[in-house]
Structure 1
Amino acid sequence: MRTRPVGPSALLVEVAGPAEALALAAWVREQGLPVVDVVPAAETVLLDGADRTTVLAALRDWVPSAEPPDGDLVEVPVTYDGEDLDAVAEAWGVTTAEVVERHASLTFVSAFCGFAPGFAYLAGLPDELAVPRLDSPRPRVPAGSVALAGTWCGVYPTSSPGGWRIIGRTDVGLWDPRREPPALLPPGTRVRFVPA
């Protein structure tokens, strides 16, 4: 773990990966450390509005863990008919039915949100199932598209450009500013995809 100051009152903590970042973010919140916001990412946690001296002293007590906290479980119904489903099947060396079976058998964890409001980067795809992004992003990916890139899974909350491999679609609303929290899949949420 490495730390470095960011701006006048933030601290960036570098960790080994998304699970460790989630574990650290949860620990900081549980400890009630003097920070305004805790923002996990793939290999960092930003502690904004931090009392740096107090936070740095407290971080000496944190024991790194690759075990993310057990968050709420959200089941997302998916129609597996994405335009890249055949390409993913070919990359995995299986049939499209086996892609659906494997994807639906996994429990993902929302590691962090970014790219667009409500877009959760879902960790949990094994390294051997990693798929490359498209060589050239699509100018428009429909809202609700369930997609893969590397070892990440994600669901596009709105129509936007994107270069991930689309394997299906869902009608679940991922972002609603009237809901608390507005994101359906905030960091720490466990996610299961259920064939519709």
Structure 2
Amino acid sequence: MTAVLSVTGVTGVTGVRPVGSAAALVEVDDPSRALALSLWLRARVVAVDIVPAARTVLVDGCPASMVAALVEEWSGSTEVPDGPLVEVPVVYDGPDLAPLAELLGLAVDELVAAHAAVEHVVAFCGFAPGFGYLQGSPWEVPRLASPRPRVEPGSVGLAGAWTGVYPTASPGGWQLIGRTDVVLWDPSAPRPALFEPGTRVRFVEVASWGGGS
């Protein structure tokens, strides 16, 4: 078992775990703190890959001792600088919209208005290429008891405290509240993923794609 390097005096950081000779996994206590740390490190470390997750930040291309020394200088804040803003038009007609609204004690239009009013932030990416875990939902939402064998691309779903948009067709157990025609993953583009950690996202209710409301 690889020894975990301790980091003293930094709020929310539980340690730095070496990953081979030239990478490290910083363990933190909160997704917001993981995002903030990853963006802070990006401004200070060159030529490495920095990947936030729910409670870790992987720093690839930098030895653990150097990463631990850098993290010692960090404030531990969960505040992040404003990232680029992406507006996503959504037709709110998902198959789980009405039952989820009932579960949350809301009318359907109340759920839609509350979801569209929030400025979400991409905390980290995973599950599938281009899939971002978006912070900002005011609810804790249970996953479906039985995942669907196929969820269509562009489906907007809720699970736990997250919002996500399926970039490609895949199985999935998130509660589907709507759909968009925005392309989230284009491997031929210079930046294949529309959602990157730190990106701000606003969902805009439309009656149909093309901007009609």
- Distance in 1 between the 2:111 and 2:68 partners? 45
Whether 2:181 is the aligned partner of 1:171: answer: yes
Post-superposition offset of 1:34: 5.3
C-alpha RMSD over aligned residues:
1.2
Tell me which structure has the larger Cα radius of gyration.
Answer: 2
Q: Does the Cα contact within 8 Å between 2:151 and 2:166 map onto a contact in 1? A: yes
Which residues of 2 match residues 1-196 of structure 1 at below 5 A? 1=13, 2-31=15-44, 33=45, 36-126=48-138, 129-196=139-206
Residue-by-residue CA offset, 1:119-142 (whole Å, 9 max, x unaligned): 00001112xx11100011100001
Post-superposition offset of 1:68: 2.4
Distance 1:34 1:72, change over 3 A: closer
Q: Does the Cα contact within 8 Å between 1:34 and 1:55 map onto a contact in 2? A: no
Residue-by-residue CA offset, 1:78-123 (whole Å, 9 max, x unaligned): 0000000012101221111111101000111001111111000001
TM-score by length of 2: 0.87
Q: Name the count of aligned residue pairs.
A: 193
- Distance in 2 between the 1:62 and 1:47 partners? 15
Gaps of 5+ in 1: none
TM-score by length of 1: 0.95
Post-superposition offset of 1:69: 2.4
- Distance in 2 between the 1:52 and 1:95 partners? 50
- Distance in 2 between the 1:18 and 1:140 partners? 28
- Distance in 2 between the 1:102 and 1:163 partners? 22
Question: Amino acid of the residue matched to residue 74 of structure 1?
Answer: V
Q: Does the Cα contact within 8 Å between 2:23 and 2:61 map onto a contact in 1? A: yes
Residue-by-residue CA offset, 1:127-184 (whole Å, 9 max, x unaligned): xx11100011100001000000010000000010000000000000000122232100
More helix per residue: 1 or 2?
Answer: 1
Q: Does the Cα contact within 8 Å between 2:16 and 2:64 map onto a contact in 1? A: no
Q: Does the Cα contact within 8 Å between 1:35 and 1:50 map onto a contact in 2? A: no
